[in-house]
Structures are given as C-alpha cells and as structure tokens.
C-alpha cells in the first residue's frame, strides 16, 4: 500500500513504526500560534483581503485551486495574489486555497 500523503509521511510512518494505512495529519500552524502574517506578505500581492507571505513553499496548490487569483513569481519561486476575488465563487476558491495551504502562507486579513 502506498502512502496517502507525501514522502515525509512515509518516512515518519517507518520511523515511528505506524501501521500501514495510518494517515498522519499535519497540524495547522495556527495550532502553534502561526498563521500568514500581513507584515511578511510578498510585495507582488495586489492590495486587498488575500495575500501570500514569505512562508510559501511554492507547492502550486493555490495556483491550481484559484488560478484566476494566484500566480507564480518565477524569479522568487513563490506564489502571490495577482487579482483579488471579484465575486462569491472566486472568494470561495481563494478561501479554499487558504485553508488547504500546507504552510498557511495565505492570509485573508490584508487591506
């Protein structure tokens, strides 16, 4: 059976001796007092509610989830918000991207 999460999960399963089929859940950064920080947002973000901060690991999740709002800085190797959502559907996709971000580099308290 293949690991259902990334290779880190496989390594942890082996290291901790966890049973096959056991799924490790990555705790959210907010559990430890972490979340996206508006003070550390990338300058490429357009002004508005959503932004990406310097914790981005360039995983592509936000760009796949909300391609009308997130894009990649090829030189910097990270995502940023190039267009704020203009309707409820785009807003929902941005929120989905924020909630799915593995390092919580997307914030929604921007101005």
Band the pLDDT of 25: cuts 50, 70, 90.
low
Q: What is the pLDDT of residue 56?
A: 97
What residue segments make up the domains of the chain, in order of their start?
Answer: 1-27, 35-107
Other C-beta atoms closer than 10 Å to the C-beta of 106 total 29
pLDDT tens digits along 37-59:
999 999 999 999 999 999 999 99
Distances (CA, A) of 8 to 5, 18, 105: 8, 13, 19
CATH class of 35-107: alpha beta
Query: What is the rounded CA–CA span in Å between residue 29 and residue 27?
Result: 6
Residue 19: pLDDT over 80: no
Q: What is the pLDDT of residue 110?
A: 73
Cβ proximity of 107 and 51 under 8 Å: yes
pLDDT tens digits along 64-101:
999 999 999 999 999 999 999 999 999 999 999 999 99
């Amino acid at each position: 059976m293949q690991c259902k999460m990334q290779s880190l999960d496989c390594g942890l399963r082996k290291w901790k001796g966890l049973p096959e089929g056991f799924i490790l859940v990555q705790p959210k950064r907010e559990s430890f007092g972490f979340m996206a920080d508006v003070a550390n947002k990338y300058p490429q973000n357009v002004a508005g509610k959503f932004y990406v901060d310097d914790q981005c690991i360039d995983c592509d999740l936000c760009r796949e989830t909300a391609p009308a709002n997130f894009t990649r800085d090829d030189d910097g190797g990270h995502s940023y918000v190039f267009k704020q959502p203009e309707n409820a559907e785009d807003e929902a996709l941005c929120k989905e991207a924020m909630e799915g971000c593995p390092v919580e580099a997307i914030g929604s308290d921007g101005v």
